[in-house]
Chain A
Amino acid sequence: MLGRDSRLEVDLGFIKLKNPVIAASGTFGYGDEVAEFVSPSFLGGFVTKGLSIKPKQGNPPPRTCETACGMLNSIGLENIGIERFLKEKLPKIKAYNTAIIVNIFGESISEYATAASMLKGVAEISAIEINISCPNVKKGGMLFGTDPKLSFQITKAVLKESDKPVIVKLTPNVTDITVIAKSVEEAGAYAISLINTITGMAVDIERRKPVLGNMIGGLSGPAIKPVALYMTYRVVNSVSIPVIGGGGIMDYKDALEFLIVGAKAVQVGTANLVNPKACINIVEGLNQYCTEKGIERLQNIVGSLRTE
């Protein structure tokens, strides 16, 4: 029998995680501030807030609002920039015994590539996650991640400039997510993560104005879980690289659903905002599940969905 903890281990091929629970980008800061509540060392890994080559100030407030079983956000990718991250944040987080995944974005393919090159040689970073759900400034603001050709090109450009495994994070705001998944796999992505938020809006009926300062935002939380699960299921069955699933995961049961449809690991986002212990509770829950069901290795249930 494996030890209590090693039965949760995940081998993604390019990195080994101590468990399949990864805190999602934008909901865990840069990993330093949440440490007041929980030690990130309990996690399989965490993804930093999306970083760009220069600091970005983000969208005008209000930036968040509550929805039925979830929330909308229009943070607008506010971040301190890669340089400051490496100088001020990395020294604080590198001691954590967990995989550090750096999320990057840009407004053009060359910005993505430059961002990746700035992280070259930084040994503490386990992998890069590229957020392709950003507007392409050159193409009139269309999302990169909705175009299979652009998704392919970004993946290639980042791989070329990077000495790290590259995970591509897909947007759900497309007609057929498997088309994008296949094109980033063909470009050489090490893994796919999904889903990013679903575009939405809310209206203040008193003022007849959008609630969010940016008018539109991204929906996250339990409201999107069925969509996220379905998309994960479809992507798992259309590519052969590892898939990291997520969207609306609040507890270990939600996490198990993603593993059963075939995700090797999961990302937990909005749940961290409501409960900073959410990820740790999920790890604990998965452990108990293994004990109760007599499961030797949690990875054995990955893709075990019975469809007959």
Chain B
Amino acid sequence: MSVLDAKVVFNKCLAKEIYFLLLKAKEVSLKAKPGQFVMLKLYPDRLAFLRRPFSICLSLPEKDIFAILYTIKGKVTQSMSSLNTGATISVVGPLGNPLKLPENISDLILIGGGIGIAPLISFLPMYHEKAHFIAGFRSSEDYIDVKEIFPGTYEYIVATEDGSKGYKGTSLDLFRQYTKSRVFNNAIVISCGPLAMLKKLSKICAQAKLTCYVFLETHMACGMGLCQGCVVKTKQGYKRVCKDGPIFSAEEICWEEIRD
């Protein structure tokens, strides 16, 4: 884990209010494991007091580079969107408890809702041969072609709420449809997206007896496990999303106690 300044390699708009940011930071790119994140701060730092958490969506250690896929949410992400090549960003990371998948899995089903696709992409370099990537967007306007970010031998299937691209419906509708006609012998589901979607998915997976992991998002002040601020209620009590997560087994979470 490092605290360092990273240079912007490029920062490109991929869809409506969605950007792909490449940062040069050798130590981060070397150490990053699937599912980890970084805490970022822009310069000059008067804009916001706290750092902001972003998933490492791809890491290319041979080029000393890692990538972030982000959407404009508020003041920091707005300002990030106008970063130019060569600009400097302060980075803390990689952070978070990486998920160790069992060796013998047959299929990895990745389900992303909107910008929730970002951390899921990080599993592709290692698992694309076993992966099925299901993504849901609002419309073709915020659609991201994951194959362009990481080409590979996985299936990438897409749903949009208005039907302007791919299947008409949500990523969960598509997931149900997709799994109906297939038999998986040792599959694992990993998902990231809005809380309501994760809640629903955890029920579906429990019924279908599918092992399910979810990425949770809570407000983080430090991202390093120091402040106990980012907790989520689990069956073993409060756990820190930044240090014990951000990936949790869906079964472990007390869903009914989480405030939307």
A interface residue numbers (CB < 8 A to B): 26-29, 33-34, 36-37, 49, 57-58, 60-71, 73, 75, 78, 213, 221-222, 272-277
Chain B's interface: helix, strand, loop or mixed, by majority?
loop
Say how far B7's CB is from chain A's closest CB, in angstroms. 19
Q: Which chain B residues lie closer than 8 Å to A68 at the CB level?
A: 49
Q: Is the CB of A58 within 8 A of B228?
A: yes
Contact A61–B3 (Cβ < 8 Å): no
When A33-B226, A73-B221, A75-B227 are in contact, do A61 and B232 touch as well, CB less than 8 Å? yes
**When the two chains form their complex, are residues A274 and B228 in contact, meaning their CB atoms are under 8 A apart?**
no
Please tell me the size bucket of the interface on B.
20 to 34
- In the docked arrangement, what's the CA distance between A29 and B226, Å? 5
What's the nearest-Cβ distance from chain A to residue B94, in Å?
11
Minimum distance in angstroms from A210 CB to a CB of chain B = 11
Q: Which residue of B lies closest to A49 (CB)?
A: B228
Cβ-defined contact, A78 with B49, below 8 A: no
Q: Which residues of B contact A63 (CB under 8 A)?
A: 219, 228-231
Residue of A nearest to B92 (CB): A276
Which residues in B have their C-beta under 8 angstroms from that of A69? 49
B1–A36 CB distance below 8 A: yes
Cα distance, A85 to B249, chains bound together (Å):
27
B219 touches which one: A37, A62, A78 (CB < 8 A)? Answer: A62
- B153: chain A residues at CB < 8 Å are none
Binding site for A on B (CB under 8 A): 1-3, 41, 48-51, 90, 92, 218-222, 224-233, 237-238, 243, 259
A65 proximity list for chain B (CB < 8 A)? 219
Closest to B227 in A: A273
Taking CB atoms, residues of chain B closer than 8 Å to A222 are 49
A68–B48 Cα distance when bound, in Å, is 8
B243 → chain A closest CB, angstroms: 7
Given A33-B243, A221-B49: A75 in contact with B228 (beta carbons within 8 A): yes
CA distance A305 to B121 in the complex (A): 57
In the complex the two chains form, what is the Cα distance from A67 to B231 in whole Å?
Answer: 20
Q: Which 5 A-B pairs have the closest CB atoms?
A: A64-B229, A273-B222, A64-B221, A63-B229, A29-B226
Return 22 A-B CB contacts under 8 Å, by A number: A28-B226, A29-B225, A29-B226, A34-B226, A58-B238, A60-B233, A61-B218, A61-B229, A62-B218, A62-B259, A63-B219, A63-B229, A64-B227, A71-B50, A272-B226, A273-B50, A273-B221, A273-B222, A273-B227, A274-B41, A274-B51, A276-B92
Q: Closest B residue to A212 by CB, please name it.
A: B219
Chain A residues within 8 Å of B218, by CB: 61-62
Shortest Cβ distance from B229 into A: residue: A64
Closest Cβ of chain B: how far from A49's Cβ, in Å? 7
Instruction: Tell me the complex Cα distance, A213–B259, Å.
Output: 9
Report B-chain residues with C-beta under 8 Å of the C-beta of A78.
Answer: 228, 231, 238
